């Protein structure tokens, strides 16, 4: 459970615990040698342990359902019975496990899992849909997850913090395919909050530092190029004398004249076109004017972010707050 573990830890961790456990999980205070756990900490730990145990039990049940109803089984009635059982697992705490356990099953099973997320009408379900839309290897499933996510966002009228976190984890993953998928997802759902992350992620750099490709432990050259002319000469001549004979033992050395180019450091810049295109699309839609002219210039992008994006964002937030206040006053 490696790929989904990121989802479980970073996106749905908060919903795997009861409310009391969440309050004390930031984090539970370290207990020193002269201190004792408070009643609240004790209760939070018990609640967390109980929640994890419940998840393990549900995972065992889901694997039994998979063995009994899915996999290589083709009978429609058996599969339909399994789908009916599967749809009863609607607790957000099991969403990450649903993705992992059924990731290799047929479309009918995986579509049913997506429907569970969508029908939950929760931030947790939306985050799970975003995760599948970003990371799944099956393009059909990615499209199906994105379609359900877009319909959910149209219902709620906004993007939750958990979806922001999904995209952020993708952009910071270091995996080029996942970075591109995260940027594509942000563009598809109009996730303007990630614009500063996209500015940073559109250029990837590696290397740099002191010698040896940035390794502080390797102070040697990465490479060198020599263009020159070598001339041989006799630097030492030793006579060798024997009876009725004389000889010489010359020592030949070489002198080099020319140019030596030493490469002691290097930086590789990756131009991520998918991220750049998503950034240009989002920023242009948000401001109502094209931003493609800024190209790949990071300084221009950050200046635009400070001078144009943030003031516009602040202005729109004030307008929204004023409209909500006016609406509330009318109801009174």
- The per-residue pLDDT for 297 is 93
Give per-residue pLDDT as tens, 27-36: 323 333 444 5
Burial of 212 (0-12, 13-18, 19+ CB in 10 A): middle
- The per-residue pLDDT for 249 is 83
Per run of 10 residues, the mean pLDDT along the chain (length 332 residues) is 48 41 34 52 83 92 95 93 94 93 94 95 93 93 94 88 90 89 93 92 74 54 87 86 81 90 84 94 93 93 95 91 84 74
- The per-residue pLDDT for 1 is 44
Is the pTM for the entire model greater than 0.85?
no
Which pair of tokens denotes residue 114? 């997506």
- The per-residue pLDDT for 38 is 65
- The per-residue pLDDT for 17 is 40
Give per-residue pLDDT as tens, 254-296: 988 999 888 888 788 889 999 999 999 999 999 999 999 999 9
- The per-residue pLDDT for 208 is 60
Which candidate, 148, 153, 158, 80, places its Cα nearest to that of 114?
Answer: 148
Are 207 and 218 in contact by the 8 Å Cβ rule? The answer is no
Give the contacts of 96 (CB within 8 A, at least 6 positions apart): 4, 5, 7, 8, 11, 12, 128
- The per-residue pLDDT for 204 is 83
Residue in the block written with tokens 């790949």? 296
């Amino acid at each position: 459970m490696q790929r989904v573990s990121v989802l479980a830890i970073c996106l749905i961790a908060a919903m795997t615990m009861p409310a009391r456990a969440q309050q004390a999980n930031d984090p539970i205070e370290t207990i020193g040698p002269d201190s004792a756990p408070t009643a609240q900490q004790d209760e939070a730990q018990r609640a967390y342990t109980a929640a994890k145990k419940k998840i393990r039990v549900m995972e065992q049940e889901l694997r039994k359902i998979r063995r009994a109803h899915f996999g290589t089984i083709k009978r429609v009635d058996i599969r339909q019975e399994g789908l009916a059982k599967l749809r009863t697992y609607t607790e957000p705490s099991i969403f990450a496990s649903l993705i992992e356990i059924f990731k290799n099953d047929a479309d009918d099973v995986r579509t049913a899992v997506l429907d569970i997320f969508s029908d939950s009408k929760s931030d947790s379900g939306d985050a799970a849909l975003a995760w599948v839309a970003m990371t799944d290897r099956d393009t059909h499933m990615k499209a199906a997850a994105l379609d359900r996510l877009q319909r959910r966002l149209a219902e709620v009228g906004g993007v939750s913090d958990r979806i922001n976190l999904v995209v952020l984890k993708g952009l910071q993953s270091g995996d080029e395919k996942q970075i591109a998928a995260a940027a594509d997802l942000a563009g598809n759902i109009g996730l303007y909050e990630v614009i500063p992350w996209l500015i940073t992620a559109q250029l990837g750099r590696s290397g740099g530092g002191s010698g040896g490709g940035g390794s502080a432990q390797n102070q040697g050259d990465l490479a060198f190029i020599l263009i020159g002319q070598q001339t041989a000469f006799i630097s030492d001549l030793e006579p060798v004398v024997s009876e009725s004979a004389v000889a010489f033992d010359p020592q030949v050395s070489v002198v080099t004249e020319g140019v030596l180019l030493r490469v002691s450091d290097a930086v590789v810049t990756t131009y991520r076109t998918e991220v750049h295109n998503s950034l240009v699309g989002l920023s242009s839609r948000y401001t109502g004017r094209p931003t493609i002219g800024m190209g790949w210039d990071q300084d221009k992008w950050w200046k635009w972010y400070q001078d144009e994006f943030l003031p516009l964002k602040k202005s729109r937030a004030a307008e929204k707050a004023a409209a909500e206040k006016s609406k509330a006053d009318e109801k009174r």
